[in-house]
A = this chain, B = another copy of it.
Amino acid sequence: MIRLSTKGRYGTRLMLNLAQHYDNGNGHKAVILKNISDDERISIRYLEQIIIPLKINRLVKSIRGAGGGYILARKPEDIRLSEILHALEGNCCLVECVEDESFCEFIETCPTFPIWKNATEILKGYFDSLTLKDIVGMAEKKSKQGKTKAR
């Protein structure tokens, strides 16, 4: 299967959760992992592991101690999905050789290399076109439609 790892999926939901709780005015109400864990039904322990690379790549800021938690390092409209996946996965390429050409010595003659490379570019392009704000917006719109229908 062509698969996005759980790190990528859970990390995206984590960031999206932070985006939904982002306070545009003051931007200082940190969200604790416990809340994200409850919302997203992902164990805190695993979230702790996942958030490390997000912090290293300066996509989130941590506030330690009581009243602490995490907040987005930038506004939701300034964070792209591609950045999140890149932080979590190191790269978002379908196969190792696309990112690191020294990975395989037969790239020059490999007939499949250009295929995976193109496919990777296409995917990257899509993920690069979406910001956290876009995605939150899509979800809100969807939820409204749902309510209308349910009536």
Q: Which residues of A contact B (CB under 8 A)?
A: 1-5, 8-9, 12-13, 16, 41, 81, 85, 89-95, 106, 108-112, 114-116, 118-119, 122-123, 126-127, 130, 135-136, 138-139, 142-143, 146
Contact = CB atoms under 8 A, between A and B. Distances in A.
Contacts of A1: 5, 8, 89-93
13 contacts: A1-B91, A1-B92, A1-B93, A2-B8, A4-B94, A12-B112, A13-B111, A16-B111, A16-B112, A111-B138, A111-B139, A118-B126, A119-B126
Task: Tell me how many chains of this kind the complex includes.
Answer: 2
A106 B13 CA distance: 12
**Which secondary structure characterizes the binding site on chain A?**
helix
